[in-house]
Structure 1
């Protein structure tokens, strides 16, 4: 199996159009292709930078000629859950024609889409990518061969991966931003880069406040990591 990650801009995709026109992003919660109608059914989480941005992005989505059905399932502030049916895009048709298949969730923001696509044969991948280049702009971010052992391990550990993702979602915005700044700035390195003082200055808070935020964030992520390690130990046994 060949696993290819693409940074794609599709000219005929309603989600691309909406995210290009306004500050909204789409993350696939579920998708299912209808080969009889050449249409894609999706459930998407839509996030806007503001409630107004979300409204504007959803208007573009609803008005797009490629949209066939739309249902606002739920909404809270700048985040919505929508169910849609869209026409098959040119890129989708090309991938399917050469026996390609989606291997992971896709994310759309800033007029571009991150695709994870699988092919059983290198020749099919080469042909599909060559044809995609005629009608779309894309960049191959990675192209890796995955053997059966690696694939089996991935499938078996999907639950563990989701546990880690849920741990990240448990973080508040401030906890996530503080952890990211600490890691990227070398706070956990030896010798240390960022310090509590420099992090406090960066977020315009006191050193005790930034320390408390770091401890909360670490506690949440470590709890999830420990849970995953226990799961992996059970599978090994």
Structure 2
């Protein structure tokens, strides 16, 4: 765990603009004026996933058009509107916007998230999608910043993506602070995180693939990445965790 805590204290925060083909969120937001926030992803049947999204816009009509586009997309299997939970607000959505919660079933192979995770990019919070572009905030180990270009190129090749880095900033934690945040992990998150560290998942190059680690944990790849993402967010910034864990 000491090595994991030391790695967690040395990070760079990147802001990325991403486009890639065969993505329903990009096609839909490119066709309408409403926007999306991408939150948590759950396993579904036949290798599919269900993602929790917030649709937001200036009017209910704009959201209606977005829902229609998503429902009719060749890249989605189902779109279900969820009941908005009282007291659940989105800090990423401007005050006064109309919002609607959606549960959308789709093929995870048409997303860029696994490609980013495979290259060590840790999602910082909800992904914003507007005007046919995804806006990601991701952490990356600052010890590997000299390889940053190479890793981004690998993501681009895996998904035929176009990626622009719009901002890079430092994000450092003291050793004591990082140690305290380990205690904030749930039992399962800590088990999975420690398993990942034990098998050099966070080294470069990695000592184990995501699929191999999922097999060792006896869970699906999607579930593994979700456990790791939540653990990493708690280790990096507890304020972010307040947003992520409430979803």
TM-score by length of 1: 0.55
Q: Does 1:155 align with 2:237?
A: yes
Question: CA shift at 1:24, angstroms?
Answer: 0.7
Structure with the higher fraction of residues in helix conformation: 1
Query: Secondary structure at 1:146's aligned position in 2?
Result: strand
Task: Select 1:4's aligned residue among 14, 17, 30.
Answer: 14
Q: TM-score, normalised by structure 2?
A: 0.53
Distance 1:96 1:23, change over 3 A: same
**Which one has more relative contact order, counting CA pairs under 8 Å at least 6 apart?**
2
Quote the Cα distance in structure 1 between the aligned partners of 2:153 and 2:140: 14
Local SS of the residue matching 1:12: coil
For residue 127 of structure 1, report the CA deviation from its aligned partner. 2.8
Do the aligned partners of residues 73 and 52 (structure 1) sit closer, same or farther apart at CA in structure 2, a change above 3 Å counting?
same
Aligned residues: 159
Does residue 99 in structure 1 map to residue 120 in structure 2? yes
Contact 1:98/1:127 (<8 A) preserved: no
Cα distance in 2 for partners of 1:48, 1:157 equals 26
Q: 5+ residue gaps in structure 2? A: 1-10, 85-96, 182-235
Which of 80, 89, 109 is the aligned partner of 2:100? 80
Partner residue in 2 for 1:14: 24
User: Deviation of residue 73 (structure 1)?
Assistant: 0.9
Structure 1: distance between partners of 2:117 and 2:55: 26
Unaligned stretches of 5+ residues in structure 1: 163-237
What is the root-mean-square deviation of aligned Cα atoms in Å?
3.3
